Amino acid sequence: MKKWFYAMIILLLLGWGIHTFQQSEELDEVLPPEESELRLPELSHNTLTINRSEIHKGDLLLINTQYPVPNHAEIQDVVNLFEQNHLVDGFGISDNSVELPLDMLKRFTAMIESARAEGVNHFLINSGYRDLEKQAELYEQLGSKQANPPGYSEHNLGLSMDIGSSLGLMKDAPEGKWLENNAWKHGFILRYPEDKTNITGVMYEPWHFRYVGLPHSAIMQEHDFVLEEYLEYLREQGTVYAEVEGKEYKVSYYPIQAERSIKVPIEGSYTVSGNNTDGVIVTTWGGDPVSVGMEDR
């Protein structure tokens, strides 16, 4: 009797195993082998790995007496405009020491072409990129009220220019007025305006323009922000949206304390810039802004 009982148990187990195996085969017919364990949604984003070194890279770095130019900063393709005078087109230079990175020269040239179309065409470049040695000489000559120490000037970063006019002082010249009203359209900002000296800690410099890029210059123009105010605004808001020349932008600030993964849309474009203090700003456009996000690692 026990033998029959054990035989029935074995037959039942075999039947269950066959049924389970058949179910598994049917499932594999529905899902491809690589999807049989986990059905994944269609991806709409790429993932970037961001570490703390990214805080100190990009066009939005805050440079002042508290936050110096990062030690590892590499300024690419710097040219002396006196030695490469074929690059001087539509503007003058004040002396033979003026240097600019090539990408800044292209941005400046494109901007003054717009000014020239409006009859404003007496621009000079008085200063562009300065290495630490040049900055030290200037600091020794002018003192702390008119110059920052070496390593603490935006000129050492290669993103700023002192722009002049052959017609007179920039605060009065048509070139200065045009830049004050239009430089933002080309990604530049008047870095040290007259009414923000208590924030920037720098005297009014109507000649000093800094590149931050769009849409940041447009947002700063709309809100009358200097860079310090803009970075704090992003820190408080987290995310802001802007439409500039038909493009819709999403600008998001992320604090970086450790390595993080940031999601950006596959379709469209993006930039990442550190603020040189505590985080990065991710700017996306041309894709699905909803798919931007971040995870800790």
Q: What is the rounded distance in angstroms from the CA atom of residue 83 to the CA atom of residue 80? A: 5
Residue 164, number of CB atoms within 10 A of its CB = 24
What 3-state class would DSSP assign to 130?
Answer: coil
CA distances from 5 to 14, 15, 17, 18, 222 (A): 15, 16, 19, 20, 87
Q: Are the C-beta atoms of 138 and 156 separated by less than 8 Å?
A: no
Examine the residue annotation and report whether 205 is marked as an active-site residue of this protein: yes
Q: What angle do CA 245, 165, 151 make, to 5 degrees?
A: 80
CA distances from 38 to 28, 30, 41, 95 (A): 12, 13, 10, 67
One of 99, 154, 175, 205 is an active-site residue; which one? 205
Which of 223, 265, 267, 264 lies closest to 242 in space, CA to CA? 223
Residues in the chain: 297
Residue 46 identity: N
Q: Are the C-beta atoms of 266 and 43 separated by less than 8 Å?
A: yes
Q: Are the C-beta atoms of 108 and 161 separated by less than 8 Å?
A: yes
Q: Label residue 88 exposed, middle or buried (CB < 10 Å: 0-12, 13-18, 19+).
A: middle
The dihedral built from the CA positions of residue 149, 151, 156 and 160, taken in this order, carries a sign that is: negative
Catalytic annotation, residues: 205
